[in-house]
Amino acid sequence: EAQVTQNPRYLITVTGKKLTVTCSQNMNHEYMSWYRQDPGLGLRQIYYSMNVEVTDKGDVPEGYKVSRKEKRNFPLILESPSPNQTSLYFCASTPGQGARGGYTFGSGTRLTVV
Amino acid sequence: DAKTTQPPSMDCAEGRAANLPCNHSTISGNEYVYWYRQIHSQGPQYIIHGLKNNETNEMASLIITEDRKSSTLILPHATLRDTAVYYCIVRAYTGANSKLTFGKGITLSVRP
């Protein structure tokens, strides 16, 4: 089944403790992206990647890092999480720039930073 | 990308057609209209997209006005499982970042 898989689904952590949220897609998509969703603010893009080793900032990149060493994986790294990063996170992929199809989203990771 | 305007909410009876409107009066010639939905806190789900012709797939139909300034997503026989937030997004294919810009969407409530 074609899908984007995120792990974990739920995570509670403490301020300052580094964490990684994994994202993997099995569709050979070139483009991947991370979004966060907050009440009243909607979905906002954090980072995106157009292909292996090509990443760039989205609208709200502060406090996050990403890497794209393999086409299928696009982990989101929080080096020193803070309470304002408590949010619902989604990873998404699509075949590539200019692709006319839709995006496939993961099921989400609900992160709480205390 | 052009801005879209959707009413905040609407409801319809189960089994009836749900017609969800979207205004995008500043749409430019190379921008497509996309619809996604989000059920509760699940990941957004792609529904359909189009440029200027009406489109239909197994989930829905998309009707785009001739001037392309508005569109309507039609769910022909709404079920309780169609209760969700529906997002109308206008996006061009050009540019390095294939970003989707989500607005507030329209909350569709399907009643029994």
pLDDT per position as a tens digit, A25-74: 999 999 999 999 999 888 999 999 988 999 999 999 999 999 999 999 99
**Residue whose structure tokens are 């994202």:** A23
* Mean of pLDDT values over A20-26: 98
Of the candidates A110, A80, A74, the residue with the CA atom closest to the CA atom of residue A92:
A74
**Does B103 have pLDDT greater than 80?**
yes
* Alpha helices in A1-114, H assignment, sequence order: none
Q: State how far residue B96 is from chain A, nearest Cα, in angstroms.
A: 7
Contact check, Cβ <8 Å, A102/B46: yes
> Do A94 and A103 meet the contact criterion of CB atoms below 8 Å apart?
yes
Query: Is residue B92 predicted with pLDDT exceeding 80?
Result: no
Select the residue of B41, B46, B105 nearest A103 (Cβ to Cβ). B46
Residues B32-76: pLDDT tens digits? Answer: 899 999 999 899 999 999 999 899 999 999 999 999 999 999 999
**Cβ-nearest to B99 among A45, A96, A98:** A45
Give the closest residue to A20 by CA, choosing from A86, A59, A74. Answer: A74
- Is residue A8 reached through a cis peptide bond, with omega within 30 degrees of 0 on the bond before it? yes
Confidence of residue B1 (pLDDT cuts 50, 70, 90): low
CB B44 within 8 A of CB B36: yes
- Residues of chain A with Cβ-Cβ distance to B93 below 8 Å are 97-100
Please tell me which residue of chain B has the smallest CA distance to A34: B99
Main-chain dihedrals φ then ψ at residue A85, nearest 5 degrees: -100, 5
A9 and A90 Cβ atoms separated by less than 8 Å? no
Chain A residues with beta carbon closer than 8 angstroms to that of B45: 105
CA distance A35 to A107: 12
Joined together, the tokens standing for residue B69 give: 């300034």
Check whether A2 has a pLDDT greater than 70: yes
Q: For residue A75, is the peptide bond before it cis, meaning its omega torsion is within 30 degrees of 0?
A: no
Contacts of B58 (CB under 8 A, 6+ apart): none
* Residue B92 CA: distances (Å) to CA of A31, A110, A112, B106: 15, 30, 35, 22
Q: Check CB contact under 8 Å for B102 and A97.
A: no
**What is residue A67's predicted lDDT score, i.e. its pLDDT?**
96
